[in-house]
Amino acid sequence: MKKSLSLALTAVLLTAACSSGTNANSGSDAENKTLTLASVDQGSVEDVIKAFEAANPGVKVTFTTSGADQYQAQIRTQLSSGTAPDVMTVWPGNGNPGATYVLAKPGYLMDLSDQPWAGQLPDAFKTVAQYEGKTYNAVFGLNGIGAVYNDEALAKSGLKAPETWTQLLKFCGDAAAKGTPAFALGIQDNWVTQLVLYALAATTVFGADRDFDAKLQSGQATFATSQWTTAMAKYQEMSSAGCFQKNPLGTSYEASQALAATGKTLGIVQGNWIIGLLKQKNPKGKFTMKALPATDDPASFLMPAAAGAGYGINAKAKNKELALRFVTFIMSPEGMKLFNEKQGSLPTLAGAGTTVDPGLSELTTFVKDNRTVPFMDQLWPNAKVQQTMLSGLQEVFSKQTTPDKVLADMDAEYQKGA
């Protein structure tokens, strides 16, 4: 506790020191030209800020970036102590400590409903950018989950990317026999555990019933008595068919990227953001994302796809005018295209002109054909449901519990509500 508290305190003190520093240095004239911002978009927001500053001469953006864990701790402390920046990363929907519902409910976010882009967002993103009918989150990027293949490794193995569930199991067996397992799995970092499950659940749960979430909310359905059991069973079946490399529980996210990038596995089940990361590790590599087969009927496949983290404005922003101008920039074709291309995400608004990585054409088609479902946790009522699933899956892999028990525990947390 002492450590984490002191970490949080240091974060507060540092930001306080930074902001008072800039205020002290800039004259009253320059004061309304400074925007403060906190973000988790390391590696992409920097370029967007540069472009924004170039488009608005004289404007200075003071910003911090950090990893999601650290950011969530920091932003809550800053919001409750009144030291939060003007613009900040906000996750869509609910279910995590920095999500739209969580921050909008106590009134920390500014209502953005009257912005032109708010009306143009497709329904799938509107629901997760809104709280009680008002828009609070400028979501600019779309991410999907699927099987990402290393084209070169696949060609070398002489195998073909599977199109059906039966083919998938055979593909895994053949790949393992050749000494290059099908998929890298790095579930030492517990958030990674959910990705294969989501990829399977999209088709098995929501393919069978697109309204499953509504039924879950109204209490007509539960995890433990639904197709979620099928998704869980298929995850285990993949594991016993040798789809993943040995010792996934000791393998970190970082290590799993290295395996897939260098062809020690034929691919990896991940979000589309992985393509950029794999290319960093293997600049010559080509990577293609496909839906992960979950049944023998390819026409029934759905892919999990959802708005990624966007930006909200602090209800007590010191510079509201500039904050709005920044958010408008993100949602403009120019800003959105820049953000998307840096992150490898797809645009949330039509007409952004984003050049999408050729490896993502299948995801683009699925989005266009409305064959996607949001990430399952985005509409769960509290953060504990997802955390129960994540540590539960690690326990399933280390044989400390059973899939049925995990689903029952998730139901119990779900029913506790917000």
Partner 1 sequence: MTPPWWFTLPALLLFAFVVLIPSGRGVYYAFTDWDGLDPDFAFIGLRNFTDMLGDEDAVQAIWHTVLIAVAITVIQNGIGLLLALGVNSMIKTRNLLRVLLFAPAVVTPIVTAYLWRNLLGPDGAVNAVLGPWGRDWLGDPGLALWMIVVVVVWQFAGYSMVIFLAGLQSIPREIYEAAAIDGTGALRRFWSIVRPLLAPAITINLMLSIIGGIKLFDQVYALTGGGPGHATDTISTLIYKDAFTLGEFGYSIALAVVLTIIVAIASAAQYTFLSRNEKAAS
* Contact residues: partner 1, CB under 8 A: 1-4, 8, 69, 72-73, 76-77, 79-80, 97, 102-103, 105-106, 108, 188-190, 245-252, 255, 382-384, 387, 391-392, 394-395, 397-398, 400-401
Which residues have a Cβ under 8 Å from the Cβ of 224 and sit 6 or more positions away? 404, 407, 408, 410, 411
Q: Please identify, using beta-carbon distances, which residue of 161 and 249 lies nearer to partner 1.
A: 249
- Closest distance of CB 370 from partner 1, Å: 33
Q: Please identify, using beta-carbon distances, which residue of 79 and 309 lies nearer to partner 1.
A: 79
Rounded to an integer, what distance in angstroms lies between the CA atom of residue 132 and that of residue 109? Answer: 13
Q: Please identify, using beta-carbon distances, which residue of 28 and 240 lies nearer to partner 1.
A: 240
Q: Please identify, using beta-carbon distances, which residue of 62 and 89 lies nearer to partner 1.
A: 89
Residue 68: exposed, middle, or buried by beta-carbon count in 10 A (0-12, 13-18, 19+)? middle
Q: Please identify, using beta-carbon distances, which residue of 105 and 318 lies nearer to partner 1.
A: 105
Q: What totals of helices (H) and strands (E) does the chain contain, helices first?
A: 19, 13
DSSP 8-state symbol, 244: B
- Closest distance of CB 14 from partner 1, Å: 17
- Closest distance of CB 175 from partner 1, Å: 18
- Cα dist. 196→32, 59, 156, 199, 259 in Å? 47, 44, 25, 5, 17
Residue 355: exposed, middle, or buried by beta-carbon count in 10 A (0-12, 13-18, 19+)? exposed
Q: Please identify, using beta-carbon distances, which residue of 201 and 259 lies nearer to partner 1.
A: 259
Rounded to an integer, what distance in angstroms lies between the CA atom of residue 309 and that of residue 315? Answer: 18
Locus of tokens 């266009």: 368
What is the crossing angle of helices 165-177 and 228-240, to 10°?
Answer: 20
DSSP letters along 30-66, please?
Answer: HHTTEEEEEES-TTTHHHHHHHHHHHSTT-EEEEEE-
Q: Please identify, using beta-carbon distances, which residue of 69 and 297 lies nearer to partner 1.
A: 69
Q: Please identify, using beta-carbon distances, which residue of 162 and 181 lies nearer to partner 1.
A: 181
- Closest distance of CB 266 from partner 1, Å: 17
Rounded to an integer, what distance in angstroms lies between the CA atom of residue 307 and that of residue 304? Answer: 10
- Closest distance of CB 170 from partner 1, Å: 25
Asked if 400 and 382 touch (Cβ cutoff 8 Å), the reply is no
Per the structure block, which two tokens stand in for 143?
Answer: 């991410």
Q: Please identify, using beta-carbon distances, which residue of 23 and 190 lies nearer to partner 1.
A: 190
Q: Please identify, using beta-carbon distances, which residue of 310 and 392 lies nearer to partner 1.
A: 392
- Of the candidates 269, 293, 305, 286, the residue with the CA atom closest to the CA atom of residue 128: 305
How open is the CA angle 153-302-205, to the nearest 5 degrees? 120
Asked if 297 and 367 touch (Cβ cutoff 8 Å), the reply is no
- Closest distance of CB 137 from partner 1, Å: 16
- Closest distance of CB 260 from partner 1, Å: 14
- Cα dist. 49→55, 72, 84, 241, 324 in Å? 10, 21, 18, 47, 14
- Closest distance of CB 4 from partner 1, Å: 5
- Closest distance of CB 303 from partner 1, Å: 27
Per the structure block, which two tokens stand in for 165?
Answer: 């569930």
Q: Please identify, using beta-carbon distances, which residue of 266 and 292 lies nearer to partner 1.
A: 266
- Closest distance of CB 242 from partner 1, Å: 15
- Closest distance of CB 417 from partner 1, Å: 13
